[in-house]
Structure 1
Amino acid sequence: MRIIIIGAGFAGMYAALSAARLRDIQGASPQDLQIALVAPEPFLVVRPRLYEPKPETLTAPLLDVLTAIDVDYIQGSAETINTEARTVQITVPNGPRKTLSYDRLVVATGSRLFRPNIPGLAEHGFSVDTLDDAVALDKHLHNLPTRPAANGRDTVVVAGGGFTGIEAATEMPSRLRGIFGKDARLRIVIVERNNAIAPDMGEGPRPLIAEALRKLGVETRLGAGIVSLDQSGVTLSNGEHIETETMIWAAGIRAAPLTAQIPAERDSFGRLLVDRDLRVPGVAGVFATGDAARAACDDDGNHALMSCQHATRMGAFAGNNAAAELLGVPTRPYHQKAYVTCLDLGEAGALFTRGWERTVEMVGDVAKKTKREINTVWISPPKAERAAALASADPERVTSL
């Protein structure tokens, strides 16, 4: 019997840990139940932190952890899923394609930045979506002082006033002063199509976010979008042209394209609709998790968001349930009633809320301390010690922050 897990993000990592944990509890051997994780590289990209400086350091090795829990790592990129034959075809670096068979498949392929067909976006836009994107942006920022101090060199425009856009924008003043010097005259502008900043955060947190932006000198352009980019800057839907050499696109994400190969229903974000056990209905042997799945968190109509907070716990349930079916033991329905947000606001601190109503609990330096702990401790992979690693993946105890 074999479980194939596609993806080494938060959901994929915890799917592997949890499946191995249940296998261990049930006394099955790695030969009886093979668990394999497929990913281009054997490391976790700490994607929620890619807005920070030195993004090349924001990875965590997984090979030792997977080895400790007897999970096979298969290097490659999944290209084709055949759910009738129960096979996954992968491309291997400098090698022939491989076809892997599975008894259960866990789709943990994550999400990708949504890049619309805006003139000049591909040529002139940056992002913090992937590790390569974040490294390219960081190199660009460090190269800016070599350019003439004109034509918007010291101006950064961020497209998108949601979570990612706000964190990228509020981190930018300190990043640029570290490059240009503490007396640099900087301009940071957030462009948001909605008529309010942080449109999904609600009325409680929004004034605090707006105050933090004012404190940092970050401008906003609300009710407008970017319609084109060129070497001179960006043009907005209201006709305004902002000179800049740096435009960061942070306006929405979609499930990774591989989910489209599963013959099942998807939502507007491309996520596969799953049942409470995270199975894909109507597709035998397939589970979806993390940003690849639209899953109910509770009985009150709340659904998991595309975030590592939900992906971590969803991954643990998906891995457990895929293994449970093969081992002949009961599955566990996914649930995640607790929900928090912790928004980094750069030198203005942070903002911590609890519950789907986003009740503000902490602001400023206190919230910033919590944000650092989340980023450096809570979302880090477990150590490569078998007992501790397996214990960390109990679905009922995996942190929901």
Structure 2
Amino acid sequence: MKQHILVIGAGFGGMWTALSATRLFDLHGHDSVEVTVLAPQAELRVRPRFYEPNAHQLAAPIGELFDAVGVRFIKGRAETIDVHNKQVGYLDAAGAQQLCSYDKLVLATGSRLARSGTAGVNEHAFDVDQIEQAVRLEQHLKSLADQPDSAARNTVVVAGGGFTGIETATEMPARLRAILGEAADIKVIIVDRGEKIGASMGADISVSIAQASAEVGVEWRLKSSVAGVDADGVTLADRQRIEASTVIWTTGVRASSLTEQIPGERDALGRLHVDSHLKVIGQDDIFATGDVAYAASDDIGNHALMTCQHAIVLGRHAGNNVAAQLLGVAPTPYSQPKYVTCLDLGAWGAVYTEGWDRQVKLVRQEGKALKTQINTQWIYPPAANRESAWAAADPLIPIA
């Protein structure tokens, strides 16, 4: 009977895990292990682009890719993990409860927007965390054209001045003008706790963020936070009121709640502590990758962030190493010492940085050209043939 590796999740971490595992088995001429991916859909949802328009197009099918490398796909949503009996309970495509057994498990279920307890957020705020929410926001923005001209209609408030908040906000003036017309009196406001524009991103990059915000028409309300959201806008912690028909919540993410079903230490974001091979510490048969893994990316104290930049490399290593464990060959320790940032800043362009201190290397249209290449080419799945897929799944491929 074949041994079984079960990968939960088909995002960047999960997809690359499956490709990398089958790659190593092929290199060793080993065909007695089945690799299965369990996920709600056989597609890679390109989450880093959900701040853009046309979100419904931002998913790449990967069923044929899995077929090409011999990965079995189960359409379903994992709900329970029984570590003792090595079983995962899931709802299948028909909504029926099912069980799937495993010999080795790789958790790659990603993260979700960390919604706060702020009043009215769940009822009235939009977000760009998942493709369905991004589509919902786009439908709402288009509906604004049917509303009477008003300050509230023309105003978008973005709660949170981190990566997602900045990209969403700086793209928004152009999106609104495309819907409401060039003459519309557009107002886009980022509400952020920081003391200066882009403070959470670092001193060097914040200069570019401030320049871009001024040029594209994004205001910042600094040293502030949203105390409440309602159908007509937001109330800030200092009781100031902003009338707005559109409020977008972008205040951080948290690892999938399935991590709570695996005994092990977790960080403040819910990520499981893993060793250098991405095996969950204290669990011999469970690996974690992508946004659910708290993994050291170098030997000077940095850890992988919850980004596709890290999830791609984490996935390649997790797949290689879970396969290596079954083969009895040496694993490849995870290491990703190079860290870069490429932040889209709307019509201004983009800013590209290198290093954990985010030293600016490219700005404006040079940065935008690189960002476009990343968003439309580098992060997409490889071609659906085993040679190119396995070549791309090598964990030792350098990646920015």
Q: How does 1:334-373 map to 2 (within 5 A)?
A: 334-373=334-373
Residue of structure 1 in register with 2:144 after alignment = 144
CA-to-aligned-CA distance 1:82-113 (integer Å, 9 cap, x gap): 11111111111214211111111100010000
TM-score, normalised to structure 2's length? 0.98
The code of the aligned residue for 2:307 comes to S
Deviation readout 1:329-384 (Å, 9 max, x if unpaired): 11111000111000000001000001112111000000000000000010010010
Alignment-mate amino acid for residue 22 of structure 1? L
Preserved contact between residue 161 and residue 200 of structure 2 (Cα < 8 Å): no
Amino acid at match of 2:87: T
Counterpart contact for 1:339–1:400, Cα < 8 Å: no
Q: Report percent identity of matched pairs.
A: 50
Gaps of 5+ in 2: none
- CA shift digits 1:224-261 (9 cap, x unpaired): 11010112210001111000010000011000111111
Distance 2:73 2:358 in 1: 39
In the alignment, what sits opposite 1:28? 30
The amino acid that maps onto 2:399 is S
SS class of match (1:76):
strand
Displacement of 1:208 in angstroms is 1.4
Q: What does the per-residue CA deviation read over 1:128-187, in whole Å, with 9 as the maximum and x for residues that have no partner? A: 000000000000000001112225000000000000000000000111111111222100
TM, length-normalised to structure 1:
0.98
8 Å contact 1:162–1:197 — kept in the other structure?
Answer: no
C-alpha contact 1:82 1:88 (8 A) present in aligned 2: yes
Indicate the SS of the match to 2:6.
strand
Mapping for residues 168-247 of structure 1, pairs under 5 Å = 168-247=168-247
Distance (Å, rounded) in 2 between the aligned partners of 1:197 and 1:285? 45
The alpha-carbon distance between structure 1 residues 201 and 328, as it changes in their structure 2 partners (threshold 3 A), is same
User: Which residue in the other structure is 2:127 paired with?
Assistant: 127
Which of these residues, 1, 13, 16, is aligned with residue 14 of structure 1?
16
Structure 1 match to 2:297: 297
**2:79 aligned partner:** 79
Letter in 2 for 1:387: E
Deviations, residues 260-304 of structure 1 (Å, cap 9, x unaligned) = 111111000000011110011112200001100110011011100
> Which aligned runs of 4 or more in structure 1 are off by greater than 4 angstroms?
none
Question: 8 Å contact 1:16–1:319 — kept in the other structure?
Answer: yes
Q: In structure 1, what is the Cα distance between the partners aligned to 2:187 and 2:86?
A: 53
Residue 399 of structure 2 corresponds to 400
**Aligned ranges for residues 265-276 of structure 1 at < 5 Å?**
265-276=265-276
Alignment partner, residue 69 of structure 1: 69
2:148 and 2:10 mapped to 1: Cα distance? 42
Measure the CA separation in 1 of the matches of 2:200 and 2:192.
Answer: 12
Shift of 1:197: 2.8
The match for 1:93 is: 93
Letter in 1 for 2:25: R
Q: Could you tell me whether the CA contact under 8 Å between 1:310 and 1:400 is conserved in 2?
A: no
Residues in 2 aligned to 1:284 and 1:322: alpha-carbon distance in whole angstroms: 10
Whole-angstrom distance in 1 between the partners of 2:188 and 2:98: 47
Q: Secondary structure at the match of 1:127?
A: coil
User: How many aligned residue pairs are there?
Assistant: 398
The alignment status of 1:377 with 2:377, answered yes or no, reads yes
Amino acid at match of 1:20: T
For the Cα contact (< 8 Å) 1:83–1:283, is it kept in 2? no
How many angstroms apart in 1 are the aligned matches of 2:30 and 2:359?
A: 45
Show the counterpart of 2:254: 254
In structure 2, the residue matched to 1:47 is 47
Contact kept in structure 1, 2:194 and 2:200, CA below 8 Å: no
Following superposition, the deviation at residue 388 of structure 1 comes to: 0.7
- 1: CA distance, partners of 2:258 / 2:225: 29
User: Partners in 2 of 1:95 and 1:168 — Cα distance?
Assistant: 34
Instruction: Tell me how large the CA RMSD over aligned residues is.
Output: 0.9
User: What residue identity is the alignment partner of 1:23?
Assistant: F
- SS of match in other structure, 1:204: helix
Contact 2:9 2:108 in 1 (8 A): yes
Q: Distance in 2 between matches of 1:251 and 1:199?
A: 14
Query: Which piece of structure 1 moves more, 214-223 or 66-75?
Result: 214-223
